[in-house]
Amino acid sequence: TRDCPETFGQEETFRQQYIERMAASFPTGQFENWAMCRTLFAHARVASDYRPSENTVESWAILLHNGGWYAWSQGRYEDAQQMLDKARKVRKRRLGKDDVATLSSTSLLASVFRDRGLWKVAEKLFVQVMETRKAKLGADHPSTLRSMANLASTYRNQGRWEEAEKLEVQVMETRKAKLGADHPHTLTSMGSLASTLWNQGRWDEAEKLEVQVMETSKAKLGADHPHTLTSMANLAFTWNSQGRHEDALALMQDCVEARQRVLGPEHPDTLSSLTAVSKWCEITNNESKRVYGWFLVCCPCYREKERLASLEG
């Protein structure tokens, strides 16, 4: 039997209404919205496979952007890449490549590429976003500074320490002057600079920054905020490099427990912390190896990140 045209039309109307409702309901991917995002994400994925009409395509792009943002924050990089790539293409076609919304989707997509190890691809996009934002918004605009920080992270991942440090110092000093030393964005840039210093073996300088970032993040954001947990992990890595193995292990164990609770056991950051704990237990011969040692057996193919850093979308 043939489908009734009236029935098909009703289904299509429902799909377009569904896109509109989901776009209005699905929040941005910030930590404070994760509970709502988690509840709605499966529905957002359904809507992402619909073909939007010309009337709903911009709402569809908003939904895909926010859904991809959340997926990226959860380490679900394949979902994030698919959703953000669609959002970027729609926005580029409808709004232009230099529009604020298009640049935002491009930046998040570049962040996904970076976290998947596609650093040259990420670098190309980050440079494009940074240069456009500089021209349109100015060198000191928060969005421009965020682009500079993201570009610096790709330099760091490629071992281009001096280029990364130069950008990170510039971002940090500008944020200190404009936002204050205790602002979360300033703390993020301090943590990123510390990561670059750590990679150069400048552990005392890195530690000084990381202690400040961790303590201030705990006070300002809370002990379970993902940025606080990143600062804990970074400081633990630095202590381990300095030979303070017991201190490093204790701090990383605290980080593991919090990340399992906040991010989930399969999040890339949780797995990275678990890998560090398992390796460091071998050094310290600590009894906690019995608790965490299963990880290397269950997840033998997991590769630890070279170095954690505060990430900016």
- For residue 258, the model assigns a pLDDT of 97
Task: List the structure tokens of 265.
Answer: 């056991």
Q: Where in the chain are the domains?
A: 1-93
Instruction: Give CA separation, 260 vs 105, 224, 265, 266, in Å.
Output: 28, 11, 5, 8
Within a 10 A sphere around the Cβ of 203, how many other Cβ atoms?
20
- CA torsion sign for 299, 302, 305, 311 is negative
Helices (H), 74-159: 77-95, 100-115, 119-137, 142-157
Residue 60 contacts by C-beta under 8 Å, 6 or more apart in sequence?
A: 19, 23, 47, 48, 50, 52, 90
Distance CA 51, CA 189 (A): 40
| Structure tokens belonging to residue 294 | 């299963």
Please, how many CA atoms are within 13 Å of residue 176, restricted to the half-sphere of its CB? 9
Length of the chain: 313
DSSP single-letter state for residue 258: H
**CA distances from residue 28 to 68, 97, 173 in whole angstroms, order as listed:** 9, 21, 28
Cα distance between residue 227 and residue 32, in whole Å:
12
Distance CA 149, CA 153 (A): 6
Q: What is the rounded distance in angstroms from the CA atom of residue 18 to the CA atom of residue 123?
A: 36
Closest CA to 284 of 247, 242, 232: 247
For residues 227 and 310, the answer to whether their CB atoms sit within 8 Å is yes
Q: Which of 192, 176, 189, 202 is nearest to 307 (CA)?
A: 192
pLDDT of residue 223: 96
The CB density around residue 38, as the number of other CB atoms within 10 Å, is: 12
DSSP helix/strand/coil, 266: coil
Distance CA(300)–CA(256), nearest Å, equals: 18
The predicted structure's pLDDT at residue 301: 34
**Tens-binned pLDDT, residue by residue, of the chain (313 aa):** 455 555 546 788 888 999 999 999 999 999 999 999 999 999 999 999 988 999 999 999 999 999 999 999 999 999 999 999 999 999 999 999 999 999 999 999 999 999 999 999 999 999 999 999 999 999 999 999 999 999 999 999 999 999 999 999 999 999 999 999 999 999 999 999 999 999 999 999 999 999 999 999 999 999 999 999 999 999 999 999 999 999 999 999 999 999 999 999 999 999 999 999 988 987 766 544 444 444 443 443 333 333 444 444 5
* pLDDT on residue 212: 97
DSSP 114: H
Among candidate residues 17, 73, 24, 26, the one with its CA nearest the CA of residue 45: 26
**Amino acid, res. 110:** A
